[in-house]
Amino acid sequence: MKFELSILGSSSATPIYNRNPSAQLLTINEKVYLIDCGEGTQQQLLKYGFKAAKIDTIFISHLHGDHYLGLMGLLSSMHLNGRTKALALFGPPELKELLDLHFRYSATTLRFDLVFNPTQNQLPALIFENADVQVETIVLNHRIACTGFKFTSKSMLPSLREDKVRELDIPITHRALIKKGFPFTDASGKVHDSASLTRPPAPIKTYAYCSDTLCDQSYFEQIKGVDVLYHESTFLHAMLDRANESYHTTALQAGELANRAGVKKLLIGHFSARYKDLNELLDEAKSAFDATELAIEGQTFCI
């Protein structure tokens, strides 16, 4: 199964040094999901060759401008480009008010259905599910209501072994049942169990997006053991006081959290404009958790 994360924006607060505010594209099988939509996201999509028309679901973490100011532009372009397919949008309830106001004063009636689903940040909740993935919110601890998102791929059925299908001449009518675990009796009367006729399914994959937040234990259970954790690392640890005041995390804290949570890989991002060179942040996170990478624009990670 395809489960790929592409980074469109890695900057906190303002665009700087060719870094854009937060936005990520997650491709799961053939479906494309946008996580946060900082200013300039639609230009980042063009720059890296992604089609905005393919996005059917958008998740917005919170209403600081660096996470949603690109949304009006993206939705307007979808409208102008003739989109008719419905678009699902998840975000804090007040986001609806902002969008309604904008479209009211610009006298715009979108050509497509924008299906708004309010999130809340009291308790984690399952907010989205389809054949490929389910998405839960992660309650984060930020200056304003903020949720992260955990994506968990659905367990797939095993696949049939082509050699066995040919060898035993398994009829089409039996194939779905075998994948579901039923045995198969061949023409000679011999019974074959499902496991001997199939290959195991792809393992379940998990991705957690945690931005923006104080690094605390409240969401620890949800990120435990995930394949990839994206965690904001706005500051170096020397700026811990500043991180605490502004409800952000240091690179060292993100590394320590990833280590304790036993994740497979940590991606750090949401970098403060005070750091032109990001290697110090990377080194600091790696000092606590070696499997750390920078989530910078244009990078794609296979999960």
| Shortest spacing between CB 183 and Zn ion, in angstroms | 54
Return d(Cα 151, Cα 57) in angstroms, integer: 13
> Of 6-14, 87-95, 120-128, 151-159, which part binds Zn ion (CB under 5 A)?
6-14
Q: Where are the alpha helices (DSSP H) in 160-296?
A: 162-168, 172-179, 194-197, 220-223, 240-245, 251-261, 279-288
Q: Candidates 98-106, 132-140, 206-214, 285-293 — which segment interacts with Zn ion by CB under 5 A? A: 206-214
Q: How many residues bind Zn ion (CB under 5 A)?
A: 4
Element (H, E) at 84: none
> Which residue among the candidates 36, 66, 212, 227 is catalytic per the annotation?
66
Rounded Cα gap, residues 123 and 140, in angstroms: 10
Closest contact distance (angstroms) between CB of 294 and Zn ion is 17
Active site residue 169: no
Among the listed ranges 24-32, 49-57, 66-74, 292-300, the one in contact with Zn ion (CB under 5 A) is 66-74
Q: Which stretch binds Zn ion (CB under 5 A): 45-53, 64-72, 111-119, 292-300?
A: 64-72
Pairwise CA distance, residues 36 & 7, whole Å: 11
In three-state secondary structure terms, 45 is helix
Q: Does 164 bind Zn ion (CB under 5 A)?
A: no
- For residue 27, what is the enclosing H or E element? strand 23-28
Question: Residue 132: which of 202, 36, 232, 35 has the closest Cα?
Answer: 202
Name which of 206, 203, 208, 204 is nearest 295 in CA terms: 208
**Does residue 297 interact with Zn ion by CB under 5 A?**
no
Interface with Zn ion, residue 66, by CB under 5 A: yes
Query: Any residues with CB less than 8 A from the CB of 202 and at least 6 apart, and which?
Result: 1, 153, 156
> Which one of residues 36, 39, 136, 212 is an interface residue with Zn ion (CB under 5 A)?
212
Q: Which is nearer to Zn ion, 13 or 53 (CB)?
A: 13
Residues that bind Zn ion (CB under 5 A): 12, 64, 66, 212
Catalytic positions:
66
